[in-house]
Structure 1
Amino acid sequence: MEIVSTSSSSRFCEVCGKKAHGNHFGVVSCRACAVFFRRTITTKYNKMKCQEGQCDREKFFCKPCRLQECKKAGMNTTKFQYNRDDITGQFQLPSPSPSSFNSFIGRPDFLLFCDTDAPNTKILVDVRYLLEEATRILSHGASTPVCGETQLKKFTQGFKYIQLDMNNLKPQEKADQEEIMGKWEYYFLTVTKWLMYFDGFQKLNRHLQMTLLQSIWHVFEKLHQYVRTMSYRKINPDAKLTHMVVRDFLMDIETISFDFSWLSDYSTRDVMSYLSTQNCCNFDIIEALQELDASDVELTYLFAQLCFEYAGKRYQGEILKVTESFQEILANDLHHYYVEEMNRPRYGLRLAKLMKINNAIQRAIWESRPKIELGKVFNVMKIEFSHPEMFEDSGYS
């Protein structure tokens, strides 16, 4: 993952003809057209005809015509560009020369932070290297042999990426650029490794695999934090309610120090409020997880169901068909687990409690969208992404 300045370009947008700034959704385009396409591709304008009756590229576009022009130029939300060509010539992004860097701060393996002295310049988070690493993992398969009588049982062998390792739990006293971007990297690669234990995912073509990965990693992250925090509190009955486990770090949300200066020009308090829009305020998930005391098999199903249902609702079409088939396979396997292994034929109430947890997380995501869109209008975040679809609904887009 790399962050570079995006302030200069001399080529032209293939949609509107104005000055371009980068490659978005597979097309050389300006920021305005890229943002417009991202926000309207799933709206009513996708199927509407010209509203003006006389749209001309040299004059103006109505929204339906502009969206059609984006698609005509080749924009597509499924074009990840994780192996896209380097941009050369005058259109090339500024090279990371020493004069353009303020700091190299202990960067994670696939992340490079490049700041700029220009106060109003957006900073681009380039995730190509991270996507390439995910591609490498997909090519190598699961890290250990996978065996089991059902796909859910095989999937549960990947539970090592979910369970808490107390021996490696470290205290965290600050959350800054290094920590936050390290978290993005950790969860994206963790989800990649986890999915390699599911037969259905391994059989997909690379295009669909990358679509799913880019859409579910941050949803996985939310449940992952709840489950690990629940495990920590179970082992430590005297743990404070403000203790949370994120990745392999233990933090106290009352005392941890946040530095969002690289992320936003707004105050820490405002950014905290903005990022908390997806919190499940009306449902105590950690307490519910403690009460359920779910097995590894049940928790694996919980993660898979949450991720696949979210991806299906978000993308529809082919992705929805794929994720619905995954959920059907895993639901049948869970039924077998309850009835044949646990001798619990009446498991409906327990399953309903599991689904209540997932529904609360998804509901928080859907309800946060209006505030996220408002945040974009007021430029709460001063970063943008080379692959914005990867950060959709993450709170950082």
Structure 2
Amino acid sequence: MDVVSTSTSPFACKVCNQAAHGNHFGVISCRACAAFFRRSASSKWSKMSCRGGSCDQETYSCKPCRLQKCRDAGMDTTKFQYNREIIPQVGQFTLPPPSIESYVGRPEFLLFCDTDAPNAKVLIDVRYLLEEAGRILNYGPESPVFAENQLKKFTQGFKFVRLNVENLQKVEYADQKELMEMWEYYFLLVTKWLMYFDEFQKLNRHLQMTLLQSIWHVFQKLHKYVGTMAYHKMNPYAKKTNVIIKNVFMDMENVTIDTNWMSDYPKEHVMRYLMVQTCHDFDILAALQELDPTEEEYTFLFAHLCFQYAGKRYQGDILRVTDSFIEILSNDLHHYYVEEQNRPRYFLRLAKLMKINNAIQKAIWESRPKMELGRVFNVLKIEFSHPEMFEDSGFY
């Protein structure tokens, strides 16, 4: 698919080389870099050196290095222009937006949209999210990990999966902020979870980041089912449409979802498009409720689903790595069933676990033709700085 530019300006940002939108702090630059410099010029980052050690790569830059790039380009807080004008487009002259805050919001990674451009796209910049993941990878697990095998160590990270019923938040209206916070939550959650698996920590940074960018949304799908199942187990009379995502409770019959920012199509059509991967939801929830897995089984299920998906998607080195991960965890699961559970005939139970795994992957594979058709007709007007991170997520 051709990338649709977010600006018709012929100028390039002196900091990041993306399309510029005006003169900010004395430098021709984009709104994203201007907003970053405004927030960071007097922050702690101005006194720090490179944090990640990987800023020579194009995937992301840490905040101290990005701030230095801004200064090297000539940005200076004394050059703030209160009535600056946007770079004029050929044949027209447009007024600037009322404020940068119109284009930059929470969470930390940036969202901005050039509404003056024809067929404007919403660009999601996730470089800061990748930077934060790199920081977690550098520091390792949040707590010491001691266990007899890899599955047991991995299970200690189940605290990131377990539903916290004490802090459920009810959401009746979901907009772009809610969606982006969910993406941020799950990407960082998966990063922390993988830190409890020794074999993942042995990989080089490129393979680690490739795996992270490919599996976080698959993890999210299973996490939604596990959280929803746990909620329905504690509330037997809950409606089938009650869903738990992250730590948020939603009744899908009554929640209002804002789709205007992501699509120009009618809301009902967009929702039908976004729900294409949920066709097996009730079957998966019923299978989980019947099986009621232990924490070790849940850990194996999450790991097997994520690693198998990544291996099928990338093949090659990634497939060899993920196959070795699955083999190690399968051996440990065998030991768990036979030695701890005294269940030598566990094959039927394992088959039921794999049935859940296969149903989730089947929903992903079946949705691909519809997602491709949606891209042809531009159902979603979202673009990503790292589109590979959102493939098969339902938003690409």
2:149 is the counterpart of 1:183: no
Give the alignment of 1:193-212 within 5 angstroms.
193-212=192-211
Q: Contact 1:196 / 1:202 at 8 angstroms: preserved in 2?
A: yes
Alpha-carbon deviations, 1:31-87, whole Å to 9, x = none? Answer: xxxxxxxxxxxxxxxxxxxxxxxxxxxxxxxxxxxxxxxxxxxxxxxx871239979
Query: Mean Cα displacement is larger for which, 278-287 or 313-322?
Result: 278-287
Q: Return the alpha-carbon distance in structure 1 between the equivalents of residues 203 and 147 of structure 2.
A: 20
- Which one of the candidate residues 74, 78, 82 is aligned to 2:60? 82
Match of residue 299 from structure 1? 298
Match of residue 358 from structure 1? 357
Give the alignment's TM-score, normalised by structure 2: 0.77
Match of residue 28 from structure 1? none
Distance 1:105 1:255, change over 3 A: farther
Distance 1:175 1:5, change over 3 A: farther
2:23 is the counterpart of 1:6: no
Structure 1, unaligned runs of 5 or more? 13-19, 23-78
The alpha carbon displacement at 1:276 in A equals 1.1
Identity %: 63
Q: Return the alpha-carbon distance in structure 2 between the equivalents of residues 11 and 214 of structure 1.
A: 31
Match of residue 192 from structure 1? 191
Distance 1:11 1:345, change over 3 A: farther
Match of residue 168 from structure 1? 167
The alpha carbon displacement at 1:283 in A equals 6.0
SS of aligned partner of 1:194: helix
Alpha-carbon deviations, 1:240-268, whole Å to 9, x = none? Answer: 11100000000000000010111111111
Match of residue 111 from structure 1? 109
Q: Contact 1:100 / 1:117 at 8 angstroms: preserved in 2?
A: no
Alpha-carbon deviations, 1:149-206, whole Å to 9, x = none? Answer: 0100000011011111011111111111110011111110000000000111111111
Match of residue 267 from structure 2? 268
Distance 1:183 1:80, change over 3 A: farther
RMSD: 2.6
Q: Return the alpha-carbon distance in structure 1 between the equivalents of residues 194 and 373 of structure 2.
A: 34
Match of residue 215 from structure 1? 214
The alpha carbon displacement at 1:117 in A equals 2.6
SS of aligned partner of 2:244: strand
The alpha carbon displacement at 1:6 in A equals 2.0
SS of aligned partner of 1:284: helix
Q: Contact 1:5 / 1:124 at 8 angstroms: preserved in 2?
A: no
Distance 1:160 1:5, change over 3 A: farther
The alpha carbon displacement at 1:105 in A equals 7.9
Aligned residues: 326
The alpha carbon displacement at 1:274 in A equals 0.7
SS of aligned partner of 1:124: strand
Match of residue 241 from structure 1? 240
Q: Return the alpha-carbon distance in structure 1 between the equivalents of residues 115 and 376 of structure 2.
A: 23
SS of aligned partner of 1:245: strand
Q: Return the alpha-carbon distance in structure 2 between the equivalents of residues 204 and 177 of structure 1.
A: 34
2:312 is the counterpart of 1:334: no
Q: Contact 1:101 / 1:114 at 8 angstroms: preserved in 2?
A: no
Match of residue 33 from structure 2? none
Distance 1:80 1:303, change over 3 A: farther
Match of residue 149 from structure 2? 150
Q: Contact 2:191 / 2:212 at 8 angstroms: preserved in 1?
A: yes
Distance 1:282 1:122, change over 3 A: closer
Q: Contact 2:227 / 2:244 at 8 angstroms: preserved in 1?
A: yes
SS of aligned partner of 1:114: strand
Q: Contact 2:214 / 2:310 at 8 angstroms: preserved in 1?
A: yes
Alpha-carbon deviations, 1:351-393, whole Å to 9, x = none? Answer: 0000000100001101111110000000011111110000011
Structure 2, unaligned runs of 5 or more? 20-56, 74-85, 88-95
User: Which residue type is aligned with residue 353 of structure 1?
Assistant: K
The alpha carbon displacement at 1:8 in A equals 3.8
Distance 1:104 1:9, change over 3 A: closer
SS of aligned partner of 1:345: coil
Q: Return the alpha-carbon distance in structure 1 between the equivalents of residues 282 and 166 of structure 2.
A: 30
Q: Contact 2:124 / 2:383 at 8 angstroms: preserved in 1?
A: yes
